[in-house]
Amino acid sequence: MAVDRGDVISPEQALSLLNRSALVQTLTQSLVDKPLFYVWRLIALSELPFARQLPYTQALIDRVYDRLATPFGFSLSGDRSQFLPCYNAMIITALCRLGEANTDAVRQGVEWIITHQPMKRGVPVSAPGFRFDRFGGCFNDSPCYIGLAKSVFALLHYQRATGDASVQEKLNEGTEYLLNHHLIYRLSTPTPITNHILDLSFPESYHLNAVELIRFVALANRMHDSRTEPLKQALLTKKNNDHGWYCNFRYRGDGYVPFDQGRKSGAWVTYVIQQALASSLVNDGSASHAH
């Protein structure tokens, strides 16, 4: 919160605070040699400012590059056999937040998105050697919404970290695709795209959720677009009597640690949602979508 306010915090102060954090202690207790453990722990640490300074984080990043990086992006198996667009994208986003956006491995993952990830329906994907059909079909006539959304998030974080304008066209195309779905609905009927898309949890998991989406919209300066209204209204209806939000889903997976525990309002989900919704009260000059 202090970082978001623009407070000046020295690296020494940050490291002292991190070392006193019960959450950080939980996140850095062990480093299990499993690909999914690497992914979820990397994502969690990327949410903490200055976490790059922790020896554990440095060791984890080295492990990710050593075990998961390939010439075409990040794969759970280190080769084509378990390459999934959603995981490639989540790792890119986390590494960008951790100050690793300019590495060759991240750039190769971004190039895969630019080259192969469809940002609209009906785009054939030619990627010899990849077996996306084994995972339920990442690229059918309609691309997997989770993989597409997380790839858009990755491009946004990469661009924010590097200023690279070469991703802008693909980023714009993907953002429009999400907004045309009002972020959460099928095109054919106003029903949720996935079973978990309206869940509130933090940090992100494989299941795309409302917290990720509202934060993306805020970071992309699109909160004034009228197509974001269904998501905003869905979040407002979930607001509790304490003017906060409950974490109503806790993902279970190797290395995954939910930041909000217990049955009271989730401090993390509440803060992220409040920050995003507050940004819509500020006129950032972006145009609303005309129906």
**For residue range 96-143, what is the model confidence (pLDDT) as tens digits?**
999 999 999 999 999 999 998 989 876 666 665 666 655 556 666 678
What pLDDT, on the 0 to 100 scale, is given for residue 280? 74
Cα-Cα-Cα-Cα dihedral sign, residues 41, 43, 44, 45 = positive
pLDDT digits (tens, 9 = 90+) for 248-258: 989 999 999 99
Residue 8 to residue 208: CA distance in whole angstroms: 33
| In-domain check, residue 233 | yes
Find the length of the chain. 291
| In-domain check, residue 220 | yes
Helices (H), 193-264: 210-219, 229-237
Q: Please compute the mean of the pLDDT values over residues 16-44 and round it to a whole number.
A: 97
Domain range spanning residue 278?
Answer: 182-283
Q: Look at residue 245 and tell me whether its pLDDT is greater than 50.
A: yes
| In-domain check, residue 17 | no
Burial class (CB in 10 A: 0-12, 13-18, 19+), 190: exposed
| In-domain check, residue 228 | yes
Confidence of residue 262 (pLDDT cuts 50, 70, 90): confident
| In-domain check, residue 43 | no
What pLDDT, on the 0 to 100 scale, is given for residue 78? 87
Across the chain, the runs of DSSP E, i.e. the strands, are: 69-70, 73-74
Residue 79 to residue 59: CA distance in whole angstroms: 21
Q: Look at residue 283 and tell me whether its pLDDT is greater than 70.
A: no
Residue 222 to residue 98: CA distance in whole angstroms: 24
pLDDT digits (tens, 9 = 90+) for 63-107: 999 999 999 999 998 888 888 999 999 999 999 999 999 999 999
| In-domain check, residue 42 | no
Residue 243 to residue 34: CA distance in whole angstroms: 39
Cα 282 to Cα 1, 7, 211, 218, 289, distances in angstroms: 19, 21, 20, 11, 17
| In-domain check, residue 276 | yes
Q: For 1-5, 22-26, 43-47, which range has the lowest pLDDT when averaged over its residues?
A: 1-5
Residue 178 to residue 145: CA distance in whole angstroms: 8
Determine if the pTM surpasses 0.75. Answer: yes
Residue 227 to residue 230: CA distance in whole angstroms: 7
pLDDT digits (tens, 9 = 90+) for 171-229: 999 999 999 999 999 998 899 999 999 999 999 999 999 999 999 999 999 999 999 99
Cα 22 to Cα 45, 57, 267, distances in angstroms: 13, 16, 14
Number of domains within the chain: 1
| In-domain check, residue 272 | yes
pLDDT digits (tens, 9 = 90+) for 138-158: 666 678 899 999 999 999 999
